Each structure stands twice: as structure tokens, then as C-alpha cells.
Amino acid sequence: MKQLELHFASNNAKSIRKIAFLLAVSLVLFRRAIGKQKRGKKRLCLKKVFQGMFYRLTTGCAWRKLPVQYGKWRSVYGWQLRIVRSRILETICGKLQKAYVSIKHNGDLKRIIFDGSLVRSSGKLKISKSSPRRGRKRCVNRQIVVDRRGVPIACKYAPGTAHDSRFCIPLIQKCLRRKLLKKGCIGHGDKGFDSIKIRLFGSRKGLVMHIPMRKYKHDPVHFPHKDSYRYKVEAANSWLNAFRALGCIREQSFETLNQLTFLAIGIITMRFMTFKSIKTSLRTI
């Protein structure tokens, strides 16, 4: 707990308690997945492994600069690969999101806001491309869907040269498969999502698309003011970028990047839930 207090950006004791509980549940699930050690050299303390992962997520430090208190960096790195392959972080994040939607939105979302954001990355990631929108610097395009409070509901990474509108439909389909959306849900997007394909898809699924038309963007009659919910996506992107490993991506593996993003989204979701509801949602795993 003291290590979390040192390295977590917030001084709120409730937030630290929630994150410590999340890491403890992840540890229990991972131990259940790998089983007991039967032979060989004694394992590294897995509690320190999860704390080291959280430290790297918040600080974005290089592996060689990982503090000694978490163990040898090569050992922590090897255990992180096993944790990523087990996908327990994705499972926990999904449980937290379902519990959040059932508590705050009575089981279904009334509004969703979607947008993309370019994030700096190293050239070692396969989807890292030099984008003209960022001065030819290498980056990836993070596509997210949030609710009216700015909590991320779905996330997807794409090459830095990809247009935002290409991944709007797959993200909404992901929310529909998880039964988070129902008919009448309002979808907010900027003029970059103005396409017939997206509007027809929304009408078939019973969604109402509030997307301004490009040719009316300067017309005060058809486009009188900016969408009042658009800033929620920017808030969600800033919350994700506060985790420095996601604000400037140095990961080489796409799967590792996804699992770390699930961990960050789970932490953001817990900010809007009580500790009792968190325990209830994760008890059934």
C-alpha cells in the first residue's frame, strides 16, 4: 500500500484502496491460472510483479530503470508477458464496465461519444506510422467510445495514418455484442464521422447519430453551436494519457499495449464506483 501511495498521482486514500484491491484480485486470478509451483527455483513474489507493472504504467519508465524493490527487471518483464497472455486484465475490465453501466445507467447507455486521438509511439510497434497530422512523427490512432461522464466503454488502436471513421462501426458493434447499448441510444461524433455508411448502420441498429454534416459546418442554421458532449472524449483521452506508458507508447507488443490499456480503463472506471460495488462485481469472477 505504501508503494502505491508513493507512485500514484492522486493522494486520495479511497483511490489507492481501490487500486490495491484491483491488483489483489488480479494476483489471485493469475495464481489460479498458473497453479502452484511444483519444482525449480523459487518464484519471484507475484505481488511485486503487479506493483512493478502498475509503476511502469504510471511512470512510463524504461525496463532497465525499474526500481530494485520490485525485483530484477528481466524477471518482472517475463512475468508480465505471462500475465498478458492470460488476459485476466481484460476480464476484470469487462466485469467492472458491466457493473458500472448497470449501476449508473440502469443497464443501458443513453448517450455515447466517439472520437480518435493520435498518440506518440516508438517505431518498434507494428501499427506505429508517421502521420502528417503530427508533423510526420510516428504515432498510433487511439479510438475510444465513452459515456456521458467520460468513462471509456470501448477502445481500439489503429495505425497513425488511419482515418477515425473506419473504426467507428467496429467499436459500436463491440458495445452491442456486450449488450451495453439499446435502441434509442444517441451517438455523438464530429464532422469527421459524416458518412452515409455510419448513418445507415446507426439507423439499422436503432441508434440516433448526432453527427454534423461537413458542408454545413459554417452554416449557423444547420450547425448553430458545438456539441456540448464532445469535450467528454477529450477528458477521457487526457485521463488515459495521464498514465505515461499510454501517453507516449514504447511497448513493442500490440497485445501488451491492449492489456495495459484495459488496466488503465479499469482504474478510471473504478473512480465512479463505490468500493462496495467494486467488490460485488469482482466477486463472481
For 33-90, the pLDDT digits (tens) are: 877 766 767 778 888 999 999 999 999 999 999 999 998 999 999 999 999 999 999 9
CA distance 151 to 138: 27
Q: What are phi and psi of 156, to 5 degrees?
A: -150, 140
**Backbone region of residue 60 per phi and psi (left: phi > 0; alpha: psi in -120 to 50; beta: other values):** left
Q: What is the pLDDT of residues 160-217, one digit of tens each?
A: 888 888 889 999 999 998 888 888 899 998 888 888 899 999 999 999 888 887 766 5
Domains, the chain, ordered by start: 2-86 (no CATH), 107-251 (3.30.420.10)
Number of neighbouring beta carbons within 10 Å of residue 270: 24
- The share of the chain scoring above pLDDT 70, in percent, equals 90
| 81-102: average pLDDT | 92
Q: Report the mean per-residue pLDDT for the chain.
A: 85
Q: Are 58 and 7 in contact (CB under 8 A)?
A: yes
Specify which residues 144 forms β-bridges with. Answer: 115, 155
Specify which residues 116 forms β-bridges with. Answer: 143
**Backbone region of residue 12 per phi and psi (left: phi > 0; alpha: psi in -120 to 50; beta: other values):** beta
* Range with lowest mean pLDDT among 121-135, 188-202, 216-230, 263-277: 216-230
- The share of the chain scoring above pLDDT 90, in percent, equals 40
CA distance 77 to 116: 30
**pLDDT over threshold 50, residue 7:** no
Q: What is the pLDDT of residue 5?
A: 43
Q: What are phi and psi of 221, to 5 degrees?
A: -80, -50
What is the model's pTM? Answer: 0.89
**pLDDT over threshold 80, residue 32:** yes
Q: Which residue has the higher pLDDT, 122 or 201?
A: 201
Q: Which residue has the higher pLDDT, 218 or 48?
A: 48
